[in-house]
């Protein structure tokens, strides 16, 4: 915090939107730059996510789709400018910072880009202090309503970054503090953290089952493709495949490629399963061993003599 006075900006408020539930799939990002309790600048970037793939669930949230980012820059192209702004800021903040910091962490890891360490804080925790005891929900929309802040277009990255910045300013003024640094120093329950110490989440876990249903693959629809398929493959014909976990490429497209070559997609592992295709598991959901129930079942069958074959995504792609 000693370099607060030497930085160009006091706080950089940031908001990411993602194309899928993979946190590396940033499709837009915006920042609002605060100095002396005023937003003095802002920036917005559309980003082409990996393979320019979107899930219906995420498009339903923010309205962006592959057509919007077909000609957009990829993250490595916008990173130098964004990194310069982060370096020029005493603090970075986001509303539900665990999500936005995880997106930043994962997209940097995906493209193997380096980053300097920085301090960040969550505007949820920050604004809670200014409305303590009022039981205001933690959502950005609800917090902004409490402070009479208008969000022009919720889930538009620029709109949300500006709202986050305005919320920080309003909370600081509510407590009669001259800066975010003074605010953070005054309250032990409002703390900043180091990005280097972040335990990043790889996936965005949606809060409601109705939203999560967008990500479910319709196996009946996928398997129906087989009737019109003109392709064949000796390793796939009449063989049953089960997919588990998250994949770098869209799961439904991988399944479709299997079915077009004569394979059959099943939802559960059984003694009749020929292949289990293993993706990345969310460690907060699976068991202590890091395996899904499908993976454990497959290994039990193999231990009993089953000819079932385990495949990684890369191995499957090599077979296709």
- Domains by residue range for the chain, with CATH: 9-197 (3.30.420.10), 219-319 (3.40.50.10190)
Q: Which of 21-35, 187-201, 285-299 has the lowest mean pLDDT?
A: 285-299
Residues constituting the chain: 320
Q: Which residues neighbour 175 within 8 Å (Cβ) at sequence distance 6 or greater?
A: 129, 130, 183, 186
Q: Are 82 and 64 a contacting pair, CB within 8 Å?
A: no
Dump pLDDT digits (tens) for 123-139.
999 999 999 889 889 99
Q: CA 122 to CA 187: how far, in whole Å? A: 14
Q: CA 175 to CA 39: how far, in whole Å? A: 19
Dump pLDDT digits (tens) for 226-235.
444 444 455 6
**259 CB-side CA count, 13 A:** 22
Q: Are 246 and 55 a contacting pair, CB within 8 Å?
A: no
Nearest 10 degrees: Cα torsion 43, 29, 155, 119: -90
Q: Which of 24-33, 68-77, 92-101, 252-261 has the lowest mean pLDDT?
A: 252-261
Nearest-10 crossing angle of helices 157-174, 123-130: 40
Q: What is the pTM of this model?
A: 0.65
pLDDT band of 217, cuts 50, 70, 90:
low
- Which whole number is the average pLDDT over 27-39? 98
Q: Supply the DSSP symbol for 251.
A: H
Q: Are 237 and 299 a contacting pair, CB within 8 Å?
A: no
**Percent of the chain predicted with pLDDT > 90:** 62
Distances in Å between the alpha carbon of 194 and those of 90, 91, 246? Answer: 12, 10, 28
Dump pLDDT digits (tens) for 118-174.
999 999 999 999 998 898 899 999 999 999 999 988 899 999 999 999 999 999 999
């Amino acid at each position: 915090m000693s370099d607060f006075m030497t930085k160009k900006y006091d706080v950089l408020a940031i908001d990411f939107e993602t194309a899928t539930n993979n946190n590396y799939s940033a499709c837009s990002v915006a920042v609002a730059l605060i100095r002396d309790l005023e937003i003095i600048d802002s920036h917005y970037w559309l980003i082409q996510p990996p393979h320019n793939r979107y899930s219906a669930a995420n498009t339903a949230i923010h309205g962006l789709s592959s057509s919007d980012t077909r000609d957009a820059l990829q993250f490595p192209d916008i990173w130098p400018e964004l990194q310069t702004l982060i370096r020029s800021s005493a603090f970075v903040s986001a509303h539900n910072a665990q999500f936005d910091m995880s997106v930043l962490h994962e997209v940097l890891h995906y493209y193997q880009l380096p980053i300097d360490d920085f301090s960040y804080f969550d505007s949820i925790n920050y604004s809670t202090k200014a409305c303590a005891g009022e039981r205001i929900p933690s959502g950005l929309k609800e917090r902004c309503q409490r402070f009479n802040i208008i969000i022009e277009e919720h889930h538009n990255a620029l709109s949300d970054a500006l709202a986050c910045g305005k919320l920080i300013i309003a909370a600081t003024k509510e407590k009669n503090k001259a800066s975010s640094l003074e605010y953070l120093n005054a309250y032990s329950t409002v703390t900043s953290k180091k990005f280097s110490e972040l335990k990043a989440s790889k996936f965005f876990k949606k809060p409601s089952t109705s939203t999560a249903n967008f990500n479910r693959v319709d196996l009946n629809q996928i398997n129906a493709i087989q009737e019109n398929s003109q392709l064949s493959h000796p390793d796939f014909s009449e063989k049953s495949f089960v997919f588990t976990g998250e994949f770098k490429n869209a799961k439904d497209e991988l399944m479709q490629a299997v079915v077009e070559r004569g394979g059959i997609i099943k939802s559960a592992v059984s003694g009749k399963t020929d292949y289990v295709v293993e993706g990345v598991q969310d460690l907060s959901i699976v068991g202590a061993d890091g395996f899904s129930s499908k993976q454990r079942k497959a290994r039990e069958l193999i231990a009993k003599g089953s000819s079932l074959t385990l495949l990684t995504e890369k191995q499957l792609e090599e077979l296709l």
